[in-house]
């Protein structure tokens, strides 16, 4: 369970890496969820750019290659002005809707206006020149028909609005042709040539709009989990998704970790009723944890489709994996500051008989928390295992005969598949985290996960001080190595003991609240 985007995304809870905007800064529009509307806005921008590109390539590029065609193109404004104006309008639309300051409702309104204006641009380029009507029998269905259908399918809009916009769009053909025809046609012939085919196009577009919009609203309705509504997907990892959510009554935002049955089944994990009961027991155990450095669990449950979900507090900050990758190794005093907070969380969990088993930088979140900076939250207690049940073949999210944890941060006994695990596996993983913070490097690297497991089981680590130019106190160097001992008995025997030994390390400087605030002000201004 993680209250931040998965490590592969390398982003934070409030600043996920999704295209050009976060829907949290946009107003919600009824019907479709904010993230679906945001995706529609992104597709609208792509359509506008595609429109400009195709219009240029079809209407201008060939003529610009040859002198004779270029002279003909620029012989009359009727030949080049409609295309130039249409391209300019589409580029303007793409720029305007890119701005996150424009509300989603306004973006969708701009989209409908653009659909109509762009259709008139196509019709003007095709039919405004009277010379096109020397042989009416050669006139086929305008590109306006295809554009209207494409627009309706790619950019979901309420069916009634899609119908009105479709009628306004296809009206471009009879309006422009009626203006340009040198000789008027009989009304019945004009209707069946230039109106009736486009009415059929509007009917098809309306049916498509109803199907696409209904699917979108069904997806939105399916995002109701208990008292929470899924608003925006922040990321997706190997096991589940993380969503920004809102409570139906409270203003408090939340993060929801959603683990679908399909994800579990594809990974060969237990999806039985027994697994659900174990999930409930473990969620209840996690909910009892009160350390301020353990992510708060607000709620949990099983959705109608069988998906497990955790509702957690939404955090603003960086996981330690991303922090080091972006800003490099941290000073020894800051590493100690982080690690002691991690120990606080693990110590309480151990007192409740829980072993985390997946401590790693991506599951440790440094954030701004109220008035505190560099405040640590330990995440992803989703595969914790009660120490008293260590002999069981598995608990929730545990597969029989599978090794649980992350290969780069896994204890030797865990790598060897031992079932007799206790809190000392978390001590080893914390040592790996300390190594990462101090050096910006993993304790061991390997071409395959199995190679990493072998290293953790057999290879002696290089002292952190030997892999960085930053000063590391000898006592801290030795303490990290003791955490990485192959024999669990040679490690600190508890998180509380590790915290005390970290506090006893003689540091050349202290990591103060002022230093922490200065770092966050410089690198992550509020």
CATH number of residue 379's parent domain: 1.10.510.10
Q: What is the DSSP string of 328-385?
A: -PPPHHHHHHHHHHHHHHHHHHHHTTEE-----GGGEEEEEETTEEEEEEE--GGG-E
Of the listed 358, 373, 374, 380, which one is catalytic?
Answer: 358
Instruction: Please report the pLDDT score of residue 394 as a whole number.
Output: 35
In tens, the pLDDT along 302-343 reads: 766 667 777 888 888 888 999 999 999 999 999 999 999 999
Tokens of 442: 């993993």
Residue 20 lies in a domain: no
Whether residue 22 is contained in a domain is answered as: no
Assess whether 77 and 191 both reside in one domain: yes
List the CATH number of the domain containing 243.
3.30.200.20
204 occurs within a structural domain: yes
Residues 271 and 190 in one domain: no
Q: Which of 221, 246, 264 is the last residue of a domain?
A: 221
How much is the pLDDT for 10? 38
**Residue 390, in any domain of the structure:** yes
Establish whether 67 is a catalytic residue: no
Q: Whole-angstrom Cα distance, residue 363 to residue 358?
A: 8
Q: Is position 146 within any domain?
A: yes
pLDDT tens digit sequence for 147-177: 888 888 888 788 888 889 999 999 998 998 8
Q: Does one domain contain both 275 and 322? A: no
Do residue 104 and residue 171 come from a single domain? yes
- Kindly state whether residues 176 and 306 are assigned to the same domain: no
Rounded to whole angstroms, how far apart are CA atoms 215 and 254?
26
Contacts of 492 (CB under 8 A, 6+ apart): 427, 479, 482, 483, 498, 501
The separation between the first and the last C-alpha atoms of the chain, rounded to the nearest angstrom, is 26
Q: Tally the domains of the chain.
A: 3
The whole domain housing 333 covers 318-523
- Cα separation of 335 and 243, whole Å? 30
Please indicate, yes or no, whether residues 213 and 254 belong to a single structural domain of this protein: no
Alpha-carbon distance of 304 to 315, in angstroms, equals: 27
Residues of the chain above pLDDT 90, percent: 25
Helix (H, G, I), strand (E, B) or coil at 148: helix
| 241 and 116 in a common domain | no
Residues 38 and 145 in one domain: yes
Q: Is residue 12 part of a domain?
A: no
Segment 465-474 mean pLDDT: 90
Q: Is the pLDDT of residue 448 over 70?
A: yes
In a domain, 27, yes or no: no
Given 282, 313, 344, the domain boundary residue is: 313
> How far, in Å, CA of 403 to CA of 417, rounded?
6
192 plus 244 within the same structural domain: no
Contact between residue 25 and residue 329 where contact means Cβ atoms under 8 Å apart: no
Structure tokens at 13: 């809870």
Task: Looking at the structure, tell me whether residues 480 and 450 fall in a common domain.
Answer: yes
pLDDT tens per residue, range 188-204: 888 888 889 889 989 99
- The CA-atom distances, in angstroms, between 236 and each of 9, 239, 260, 339, 360 are 8, 8, 12, 27, 18
Same domain, 194 and 53: yes
Per-residue tokens: 268: 């060969």
Give the per-residue SS3 of 189-225.
HHHHHHCHHHHHHHHHHHHHHHHHHHHHHHHHHCCEE
* Residue 10: inside a domain: no
Give the contacts of 410 (CB within 8 A, at least 6 positions apart): 403, 425, 428, 429, 452, 453, 456
Band (pLDDT 50/70/90 cuts) for residue 282 is low
- Among the three residues 163, 190, 221, which one is the final residue of a domain in this structure? 221
Same domain, 101 and 214: yes
């Amino acid at each position: 369970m993680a209250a931040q985007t998965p490590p592969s995304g390398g982003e934070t809870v409030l600043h996920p890496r999704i295209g050009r905007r976060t829907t949290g800064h946009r107003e919600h529009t009824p019907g479709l969820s904010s993230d679906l509307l945001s995706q529609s806005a992104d597709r609208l921008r792509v359509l506008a750019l595609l429109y400009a590109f195709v219009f240029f390539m079809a209407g201008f590029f060939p003529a610009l290659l040859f002198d004779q065609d270029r002279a003909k193109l620029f012989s009359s404004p009727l030949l080049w002005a409609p295309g130039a104006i249409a391209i300019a309008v589409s580029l303007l639309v793409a720029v305007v809707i890119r701005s996150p300051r424009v509300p989603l409702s306004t973006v969708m309104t701009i989209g409908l206006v653009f659909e109509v204006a762009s259709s008139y641009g196509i019709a003007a380029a095709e039919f405004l020149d009277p010379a096109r009507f020397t042989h009416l029998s050669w006139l086929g269905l305008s590109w306006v028909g295809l554009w209207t259908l494409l627009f309706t399918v790619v950019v979901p809009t309420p069916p009634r609005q899609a119908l009105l916009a479709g009628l306004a769009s296809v009206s471009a053909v009879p309006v422009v042709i009626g203006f340009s025809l040198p000789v008027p046609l009989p009304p019945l012939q004009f209707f069946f040539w230039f109106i009736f085919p486009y009415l059929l196009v509007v009917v098809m577009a309306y049916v498509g709009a109803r199907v696409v919009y209904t699917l979108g609203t069904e997806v939105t309705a399916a995002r109701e989990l208990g008292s929470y509504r899924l608003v925006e997907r922040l990321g997706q990892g190997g096991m589940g998704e993380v969503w920004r959510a809102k409570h139906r009554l409270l203003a408090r935002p939340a993060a929801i970790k959603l683990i679908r049955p399909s994800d579990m089944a594809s990974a060969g994990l237990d999806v039985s009723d027994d697994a659900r009961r174990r999930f409930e027991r473990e969620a209840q155990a996690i909910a009892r944890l009160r350390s301020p450095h353990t992510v708060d669990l607000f709620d949990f449950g099983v959705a109608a489709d069988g998906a497990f979900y955790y509702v957690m507090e939404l955090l603003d900050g960086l996981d330690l994996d991303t922090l080091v990758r972006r800003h490099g190794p941290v000073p020894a005093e800051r590493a100690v500051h982080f690690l002691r907070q991690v120990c606080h969380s693990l110590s309480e969990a151990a007192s409740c008989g829980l072993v985390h088993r997946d401590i790693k930088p991506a599951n440790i979140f440094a954030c701004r928390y109220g008035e505190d900076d560099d405040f640590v939250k330990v995440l992803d207690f989703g595969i914790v295992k009660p120490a008293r049940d260590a002999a069981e073949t598995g608990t929730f999210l545990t597969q029989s005969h599978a090794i649980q944890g992350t290969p780069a941060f896994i204890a030797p006994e865990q790598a060897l598949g031992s079932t007799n695990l206790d809190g000392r596996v978390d001590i080893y993983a914390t040592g790996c985290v300390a190594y990462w913070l101090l050096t910006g490097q993993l304790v061991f690297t390997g071409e395959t996960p199995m190679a990493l497991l072998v290293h953790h089981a057999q290879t002696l680590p290089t002292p952190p001080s030997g892999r960085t130019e930053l000063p590391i106190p000898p006592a801290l160097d030795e303490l990290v190595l003791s955490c990485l001992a192959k024999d669990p008995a040679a490690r600190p025997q508890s998180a509380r003991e590790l915290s005390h030994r970290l506090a006893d390390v003689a540091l050349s400087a202290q990591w103060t609240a002022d230093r922490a605030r200065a770092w966050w002000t410089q690198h992550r201004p509020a």
